[in-house]
Amino acid sequence: MVRPTTPSMRKKSINGRMVKAAPQRTCVSCRQIGEKRGLVRLVRTPDGRVELDSTGKRAGRGAYLCAKPECWDAGINGGKLEHSLKVTMTREDRQQLLEKGLDLIKEKIG
Ligand SMILES: [Zn+2]
């Protein structure tokens, strides 16, 4: 009798590499990758509006914009933010958000 060779139990050694995602975010306007603190988070609220998330911890779909007025202008008025968050904003919404955003940036960069 020929004994079937038992295949050695091959242990799959999955290298448990801890790939920690660096806290880097992409600006939806200029697509530049920056550190989280250099960007401002915006969050889509459950009722489909967009609000600033100055803490960066609010739940919901988020998008980021650099702390640069030109990114806010292009991102909001150019529709990139809406596209990224899959929302539709009215002209008023955009204006308000842009104003709030610019205020926040001023505080951020002093
Ligand atoms: Zn930007």
Residue 85 to residues 3, 14, 28, 32, 109, Cα–Cα distance (Å): 63, 36, 10, 17, 25
- Separation of 90 CA from ligand 1 center, angstroms? 22
CATH superfamily, region 24-109: YlxR-like (3.30.1230.10)
- In the reported structure, the alpha carbon of residue 7 is separated from the centroid of ligand 1 by a whole-number distance in angstroms of 56
Share of the chain above pLDDT 90, in %: 67
Q: How far is the CA of 38 from the centre of ligand 1 (A)?
A: 10
> Which pLDDT tens digit goes with each residue over 20-41?
766 789 999 999 998 877 899 9
59 Cα: distance to centroid of ligand 1 (angstroms): 22
CB 29 within 8 A of CB 20: no
On the question of pLDDT at 92 being above 60, the answer is yes
- The pLDDT of residue 4: 64
Sequence ranges of the domains in the chain: 24-109
pLDDT of residue 18: 72
* pLDDT confidence of residue 13: 57
One-character DSSP codes across 57-100: --SS-EEEEES-HHHHIIIIITSHHHHHHT----HHHHHHHHHH
What pLDDT was estimated at residue 105?
Answer: 92
pTM (two decimals):
0.76
Separation of CA 30 and ligand 1 centre (Å) = 4
